Structure 1
């Protein structure tokens, strides 16, 4: 659909342009977004923040207003071309590219769909989730899967690589990501390169320590699954979680 554009020219000879310093501090785009958040900004404010500066004759707010007038709001601005934007007095190639990039990012966000998330409801589900990836590793990897309240995996991260030790796998590293992701629970995995998933004393100590810390933070450790060669051991089933 062709962009509907109406020409708006800047009449700088009949009246002086308002500068950003003439605007009350509480009404300036930058201060408004700092104090109240982006949702309290007008379309003109947001465009001004993208452009960052005006011209010698136009403040950034006035320039933003003219852009909205020329494209009749956001409806046609989203379809604007580089040529149409640079035809506006005060919009050079750099500012036009900034606007085009922002519009494209908005389109991508609007059409983004979260892929179906993996659901882990049992030790078998957990083992299946990581088996092919972890069974062939030649060094021990400690991996955490962070879950939401529906037991869907929202993030997976390798927390540590090396021989498992209670003093090395620190709860801080495990729970930092859990809190950042607002996880309801987590599942720990680590592999035994020997192929034998039998838990060691260190495996059990690490599990107990993480479970206790999880209780304090309100993030449940659902399981600690040790991965071997097409075999696994669930420490939940062994009574350690």
Structure 2
């Protein structure tokens, strides 16, 4: 029996409209994205099968193009659609960050930077440039590394801070392992960046490590 033959109160789309997207499980949300099932399987059945195959929603959404397209009921059209949805979500978070006024903690910055850096197969290092009232000026990814780590050059960070006439920075990098605990190397580069930026009167407010969670070195007293 197809989803259209289900009672209205059980159909994912109708439940979303009646109760909100947050009321739906992962399989129901994915079924709405898929729109149709395959022969012998409803969209919800197919969604459950895909979640089991990929190991959950996040691994499915972060899967490389080739792996994603091999999934039953997926393909390049769905991959393109998904990438557009994910990019819209990142841009939504960026606009929320820009409209949010003064950044005085890691929460808003962490949400955006996590969406940007999480699930990368190798390390990337990003800088959030802020003005004197800690409002967002720009965000740039300055360094890319291997899965073992990224080489961060304080001189380049200082150069970009001066280019943007920034008064303060929040920096972030991801741990592809998913473990967000700062390493000794993370603490060392934080000290080097803070000292280099202080020479040009720019404050380093925080260093965020993005994994399955987001860890703030400032919150841990490591700044």
Q: Report the TM-score when normalising by structure 2.
A: 0.53
Partner of 2:153: 170
| Larger of the two Rg values belongs to structure | 1
* 1:82-93 equivalence runs, <5 A: none
| In 2, Cα distance between equivalents of 1:236 and 1:149 | 19
Partner of 1:130: 113
* 1:156-167 equivalence runs, <5 A: 156-162=139-145, 163-164=148-149
**1:235 equivalenced with 2:217 (yes/no):** yes
* 1:10-21 equivalence runs, <5 A: none
| In 1, Cα distance between equivalents of 2:117 and 2:166 | 23
Partner of 2:185: 202
Q: Encode CA deviations 1:65-124: one digit per residue, 9 max, x unaligned.
A: xxxxxxxxxxxxxxxxxxxxxxxxxxxxxxxxxxxxxxxxxxxxxxxxxx8825422111
CA contact (8 A) 1:164 1:202 kept: no
CA RMSD of aligned residues (A): 1.6
Q: Displacement, 1:132?
A: 1.4
Q: Displacement, 1:150?
A: 1.9
Partner of 1:191: 174
Unaligned 5+ runs, structure 2:
1-94
Unaligned 5+ runs, structure 1:
1-114
The count of residues paired between Structure 1 and Structure 2 equals: 124
CA contact (8 A) 2:118 2:174 kept: yes
| In 1, Cα distance between equivalents of 2:196 and 2:220 | 19
SS where residue 214 of structure 1 aligns?
Answer: helix
SS where residue 199 of structure 2 aligns?
Answer: helix
Tell me which protein shows more helix as a share of its residues. Answer: 2
| In 1, Cα distance between equivalents of 2:129 and 2:116 | 17
Partner of 1:211: 194
| In 1, Cα distance between equivalents of 2:114 and 2:153 | 24
**1:139 equivalenced with 2:122 (yes/no):** yes
Q: Report the TM-score when normalising by structure 1.
A: 0.49
